[in-house]
Amino acid sequence: MQSNYRAYVVTAVLFCFTFSLSAADKKAKESKADDAMPSYAQPQPAVENIDLAMYQRIREEGLSHSHIMEYASALTDGIGPRLTGSPNLKKANEWTRDQLTAMGCTNAHLEDWGEFGMGWRQLNTWVRMSAPDTAVFIAQALPWSPSSHGAVNGAAIWIDATDEKGLEKYKGKLSGKIVFFGPMRDVKPVDKPLWERRDDADLKTQVEYPVHVGPHEDFFATFIKRLEFREKAGKFFADEHAAGIVVPSRDGRNNGGSGGTISSPGRPIVVEIERSTLARPVIPMICWSVGLFVACRNSI
């Protein structure tokens, strides 16, 4: 009887010891997982302890020791547009790493963020009307569009379809054509300053900017829908063997963007396109504008 009691006690002690080890191991694993989790993903405290002294140091640095103009000049003037996958993006990444190192960071380095796809940069683009008269179009190549491998010449046709049904009526009619794809708009005069200095009333509206959920959701839904249709339209034009696609760029504030398109319905014109880029082989696409300013750029 006594031996049975001793066996019971030993078993109970071993069970408790094993349970304690299991609980400690589980707690250690949870603690390790919390340490591996970035701070922003961890549970946040109910009351935040704000380091007002650090806030003041950051404000002081920005207001009294700012280098924003030299940094902006280095990126815009020294490096230029930084489209994803372009050589300029590599330059900008390396420049940023070197600047952080110069600031005193001890482990500033570059890391891969994943696969993106084909790299791209624009070397040369020109578009002109060659018949019935000559005219030069202000144009830029759309990012990731391919090289034309020399001048492409073809009759121009305007298509303002907004859905797949609108494209169907052009089936079998686009082979060798230069397609002007998108809505036309008037070229309005620039009658206001293109830059505006904000006054106190404007700055107050920025501080008290309201959050509107509905309209923004509608905007993004429309934007995504438009992108999906543009992708389908591009495939349609490629299947129809169009020689090139020309799309209008957006206008800017106070009519200081791209201007618009000019057309004479019923009057046939011939357009030549030549582009030199590094990209995959599909039909060339050009973003064009007729006006005082070019608003279509590769990237900033």
Residue 68 lies in a domain: yes
> What's the total number of domains in the chain?
2
User: Which distant-in-sequence residues (6+ apart) come within 8 Å of 160 by Cβ?
Assistant: 166, 181, 182, 183, 184
Question: Are residues 271 and 158 part of one domain?
Answer: yes
Work out the average pLDDT over 167-195. Answer: 85
Residue pair 175/240 in contact (Cβ under 8 Å)? The answer is: yes
Question: Are residues 173 and 99 part of one domain?
Answer: no
pLDDT by residue (tens digit) across 230-256?
889 989 999 999 998 888 877 667 766
Residue 22 lies in a domain: no
DSSP-assigned letter for residue 2: H
Residue pair 186/251 in contact (Cβ under 8 Å)? The answer is: no
- Residue 212 and residue 204: Cα distance in Å, rounded? 17
Residue 108 lies in a domain: no
Residue 45 lies in a domain: no
Residue 5 lies in a domain: no
- pLDDT value for 267: 46
Question: Are residues 238 and 270 part of one domain?
Answer: yes
What is the domain extent for residue 94? Answer: 52-103
- pLDDT value for 170: 94
Taking alpha carbons only, the member of 148, 151, 119 closest to residue 279 is 119
- pLDDT value for 211: 62
Question: Are residues 237 and 168 part of one domain?
Answer: yes
Residue 63 lies in a domain: yes
- pLDDT value for 179: 92
- pLDDT value for 21: 46
Beta strands in the chain (DSSP E): 122-131, 135-141, 152-159, 178-181, 244-248, 270-277, 285-289
User: Which distant-in-sequence residues (6+ apart) come within 8 Å of 86 by Cβ?
Assistant: 119, 120, 121, 298, 299
